[in-house]
Structure 1
């Protein structure tokens, strides 16, 4: 039985009972938790990964930025799939979780950064589809009351990212500078060596011992793949509604076809004469209709009630907003542990703890603004978030370059205000225009550009100018966001 697009879309937009809404929303929260686990695991393991691959931060940051390159086609494919097959969104999430699980498990086993680039590209590609399909599921469930549920769902990302440093810490290696008293067996697969240039331009050799980060990546992969089972089950439930909707559609079409056949028989003789010319016209019209449908799908007016320039201005604003928020988020989270160890000489455990506390504050911000979203306008929320992040980042750049306590305190405030910016931005967009698949794709497209820009720039500045540039980069991103 062939199921047309309208049937699939209608099934996806069906009304759900309260219990089913809660269960599906809970599953979405868990899907964002595992998204945080597979996307953010390079953060706490960044130093180990650098030493294991015997490379620098600039090269590794460039490889990790491939996630942004993967998001480019992922945005387009995800937007088209969500628009075309809204009723199959659960299947999309399930498949993307499985692919992401394979990519993250392979990451610590590759021999060089080129393979890291390829795996991050794949991970970014499926993450974009995961984001688009998951957001569509949430909008289908809650419709015009989606602001608070969206923030709650995105809270899951912070929770997953908070868990990542905790289960990664036991498997992180210990960094040791080469000395005469060092007794390290380099044949051990858990010991790695690298050479770096100190501020006085002299060469220093470091070792990292007892690194077993492959276990941390395996935990992320197993959790991600396990959740996909639930989404396969959800899709099976959805298919029942699709089949029922298809049966109703077939019955309606049968009646319509009978009427059309009666009219067609009467006009058969007249149409026979012009059959050849009519066929040419139909082929031409069919091509035109397909082209119009494709152009309509990417037309900003399609999600702004026919107002092209209004839709274009909203999508453009959101492109820059999500580019700065998404890229800046990766910048702040994935380098905070490295900065604390390299610049402020934190121990490995303390570096992990500040990374963990960052995600606690990040998640706390999302939760608080999730509550506030029920009574406060999204326009007010987005102003408070961007202004708060900017003020805290400026103060952090002034005081935290040589003060560990200042870093501990101020990075929490930055995370608190940064956390809810993404879901609030989604809700703000949905408030002003219909959130179509291509509209969500433009958000992810902006995030991918921002991720590439921030990671590559910070990797270059960090290696070639100094670790303190991390603070200035975070501040610049926060100021631009406001």
Structure 2
């Protein structure tokens, strides 16, 4: 039986993860607002997303560096508290940014904090609960981000309506229909205020991170994680015992696996970031309220899919969950590009269903490869390398496509879904060869050992 301290630590971790989901999701419904704020078009502003995810990649790499340099002399929770505080600051100042360069720097800094917290908190759970006991906890960890993604558009809706008004058709204000380099005419504001109400969506999440920065700092001060570790040891929670294999033995599994996370994460973020703007600016011609609802539907499906993965993992293999999810995403995106722009109810359905099928892919990929080989140490960085590189590359392409034709972003999402199927197939094939090779080596070793026992008896 776990102690209340262990439960509270998980609660704090999951709440922080929820806030990180809000942080990612809020960029979708506020995309036009942000580009308008700094006076650039969407295709240029999407490069700021690349800066954010480059920061995420750097932040993830920073975890290993910090742990190596401190070598346990400084409680890792202090670093988590610092990055939570920095994350609060970056969100708090976003509504006041009117210069694109400053916005780029601010979003990159926010990405660094996200990457550090993403890898650092996940590593904390793996370290305390081990590879086996942490499996459902990691699913819940990734499930929490979906809850944050779901509530972000809901919180943003009243602020968006207050700022832009509720129009039956908002397409006339979309950047694709004006050729000026200055995007200040993207959307016509109806609120005659100096401070745009949409800015509150960022201030609220900034305050949220300030509060949890203080909580984690107190936990670090009292060595809360060590107390939890001691309590878990008394109830027999086992840690990972397998040694990490040499890179030369697993490289052909890891290469397609990086491609898998490249396609999956970039697809997840691309769809969540652009579905609001696509539904408003394409022939779908959604109103502000309708667009926030379809954005929320995506995240509803996402956290339902990720939540179902928690239960599915207890009775089926991660490989089957990932295969089912990939088939679902491919099917939904094909339906979207054929019927989505001409039929509103199809776009509603696909947004929710696509989120549902995308949801289990990340934790399924992690748990699948962890069965093949130990990835709880230095190899954990593979996941963030693949995912963040995908976002760095794909989001600017999405912004360029959006500027040309808003709905074409969906074609890119469909291509990523289908390519992901190819990468996962290659990873499974490489894993089978890896398993066969190890089984053969084990058989030869056992045979050699048995012959050594038989030979002396013949003498």
1:153 to 141, 149, 161: 141
Match of 1:71 in 2: 56
Distance of 2:350 and 2:319 partners within structure 1: 25
In structure 1, what is the equivalent of residue 288 of structure 2?
348
Output one character per residue of 1:235-290: Cα deviation in whole Å (capped at 9) or x when no partner: 23427949x99xxxxxxxxxxxxxxxxxxxxxxxxxxxxxxxxxxxxxxxxxxxxx
Can you give the 5+ residue segments of structure 1 that lack an aligned partner in the other structure? 1-15, 178-192, 246-301
1:198 pairs with 2:172: no
1:439, distance to aligned residue in structure 2 (A): 1.9
> Of 154, 165, 183, which residue of structure 1 is paired with 2:153?
165
Instruction: Report the count of equivalent residues.
Output: 393
Match of 1:374 in 2: 314
Distance between the aligned counterparts of 1:416 and 1:451, measured in 2?
20
Residue 64 of structure 1 contacts residue 116 of structure 1 at CA under 8 Å; is this kept in 2?
Answer: no
1:89–1:134 CA contact under 8 A, matched in 2: no
Please tell me whether the aligned partners of residues 176 and 406 of structure 2 are also in contact (alpha carbons under 8 angstroms): no
Deviation of residue 372 (structure 1)?
1.0
Q: 1:94 to 1:315 in 2, by over 3 A?
A: farther
TM-superposed deviation, 1:129: 1.0
- Which residue of 1 is the match for residue 235 of structure 2? none
- Residue in 1 that maps onto 2:330: 390
The answer to whether the 8 A contact 2:86-2:113 is kept is yes
**Separation in structure 2 between the aligned mates of residue 215 and residue 396 of structure 1, nearest angstrom:** 33
Work out which of the residue numbers 270, 276, 290 in structure 2 matches 1:331: 270
In the TM superposition, 1:296-445 aligns within 5 A as 305-343=244-282, 344-445=284-385
* Consecutive unaligned residues in structure 2, runs of 5 or more: 231-240, 422-459
Judged with a 3 Å threshold, the aligned counterparts in structure 2 of structure 1 residues 439 and 81 are, in CA distance, closer, same or farther, namely farther
- The answer to whether the 8 A contact 1:462-1:468 is kept is yes
Partner of residue 209, structure 1:
190
Distance 1:471 1:89, change over 3 A: same
Aligned counterparts of 2:416 and 2:175: Cα–Cα separation in 1: 28
Which residue matches 1:174? 164
Q: Aligned with 2:328: secondary structure?
A: helix
Kept in 1, the 8 Å contact 2:166–2:288? The answer is: no
Query: 1:23 and 1:52 mapped to 2: Cα distance?
Result: 39
Alignment of 1:268-283 (within 5 A): none
| Alpha-carbon distance, 1:80 to partner | 2.7
CA distance, structure 2, for counterparts of residue 78 and residue 208 of structure 1: 42
Structure 1 position 460 matched with structure 2 position 400: yes
Q: TM-score, normalised by structure 2?
A: 0.79
**Alignment of 1:221 onto 2:206:** yes
CA contact (8 A) 2:174 2:281 kept: no
For residues 106 and 179 of structure 2, what CA distance do their matches in structure 1 show?
A: 36
Larger Rg belongs to: 1
> Are residues 1:35 and 2:27 paired?
no
1:12 corresponds to:
none
* Partner deviation per Cα, 1:389-408 (whole Å, 9 max, x = no partner): 11111111111022111100
CA RMSD of aligned residues (A): 2.8
How far the C-alpha of 1:18 sits from its partner, in A, is 4.0
Q: 1:331 to 1:18 in 2, by over 3 A?
A: same
Matched residue, 1:273: none
Partner of 1:402: helix, strand, or coil?
coil
